[in-house]
Amino acid sequence: MIVVTGASKGLGRAICERLKSKNIEVFGLARDVSDLSFPGMSCDVSSYKEVKSIAQHLKREGINVDGLINAAGIASMNLAITTPPEVSERIIRTNLLGTIFCCQIFAPFLIRNKIGNIINFSTIAVALGLKGESVYAASKAGVEGFTRSFAREMADFSVNVNCIAPGPIDTNLLKGLTASQIAKIIAQQIIPRQYTPDTISDLVELLLDKRSASLSGQVLHVGGV
């Protein structure tokens, strides 16, 4: 079973639906799981206690976890000096600490199996240094650094850890950007077009496949930078 965070909407929801269509079992984590079409539980990934409780539940139920996809994330498009401290803290806790907590807590399942995949999510904002996304980019830069180091830690257990860094995807994270701002970001990509959640799901599916067994510690930029 693959545990997917942020499973109620956006990329997380699209990834779960794709894996489900391929007869891959998924277990979704999100704040609101009331309308999921697959198994899941309510969870705030920024809370170590809540994530740990979910893992203990899965262990008690004898559920075998062989993959983790950290798709939960939030953003606030603001200049750094005008970003309220509580917003900065919430972004860091959800995007960076949430990813770290889930990796720490679910990795033991994969270590016992001596096989598995962990996929984290970053953003093109890190590589491009996008104006107005300083705090968001900082949280995701942390995810990239964590991914590279954690991949080395997990290599002895045949667990691969990679990171996907998309450009603008049509999800709620784009709410704070105008069409003009989105177009300017897309223009900086090597392949300048806007991608869809389906595109990201294609890449997730590839990383979960044994054909990608030689990839670990990589940050994959959708669209290229």
What average pLDDT score do residues 49-53 get? 98
pTM over 0.75: yes
- For residue 178, pLDDT over 90 is answered with no
- For residue 174, pLDDT over 70 is answered with no
Q: Give, rounded to a whole angstrom, the gap between the first and last alpha carbons of the chain.
A: 33
Q: pLDDT value at position 172?
A: 67
The interaxial angle of helices 98-113 and 134-154, nearest 10 deg, is 20
Q: pLDDT value at position 173?
A: 65
- Which pLDDT tens digit goes with each residue over 142-171? 999 999 999 999 999 999 999 999 988 876
Token pair for residue 112? 């016992």
* Residues 6 or more apart whose Cβ sits within 8 Å of residue 146: 96, 99, 100, 103, 120
77 or 134, which is more confident: 134
- For residue 118, pLDDT over 90 is answered with yes
- For residue 98, pLDDT over 80 is answered with yes
Homologous superfamily assigned to 2-217? NAD(P)-binding Rossmann-like Domain (3.40.50.720)
